Amino acid sequence: MSRCAWLACAGLWLLGGSVAAQDKNPYRNYNEQKFVDNMQSAGRNYAAVNDFIAKTDYASAKAQLTRAREQLAVTVQFWRDVHRKDDAVAMLRTVLAGLDDLDKALGAAPVDAAAVTARVGRVDSGCQACHAVYREQDASSKAFRVKQAALR
Residue 4 or 32: the one with the smaller Cβ distance to ligand HEC is 32
| Contact between 74 and ligand HEC per CB under 6 A | no
As measured in angstroms, the least distance from the Cβ of 96 to ligand HEC is 8
DSSP string, 33-79: HHHHHHHHHHHHHHHHHHHHHHTT-HHHHHHHHHHHHHHHHTTHHII
3-state secondary structure of 4: coil
| Contact between 67 and ligand HEC per CB under 6 A | no
Left, alpha or beta for 142 (phi > 0: left; psi -120 to 50: alpha)?
Answer: left
3-state secondary structure of 18: helix
- Separation CA 78–CA 70 (nearest Å): 15
The C-alpha angle with vertex 87 and arms to 65 and 64, in degrees rounded to 5, equals 5
Q: By CB under 6 A, how many residues form the interface with ligand HEC?
A: 22
Build a one-symbol-per-residue string for 78-117: x at contacts with ligand HEC by CB under 6 A, - elsewhere. -x--------x--xx--x----------------------
Q: Tell me the residue nearest to ligand HEC as measured from the CB.
A: 43
As measured in angstroms, the least distance from the Cβ of 10 to ligand HEC is 43
- Separation CA 59–CA 24 (nearest Å): 34
Residue 58 or 68: the one with the smaller Cβ distance to ligand HEC is 68
Give the footprint of ligand HEC on this chain (CB under 6 A).
36, 39-40, 42-43, 46, 72, 79, 88, 91-92, 95, 123, 126-127, 130-131, 134-135, 144-146
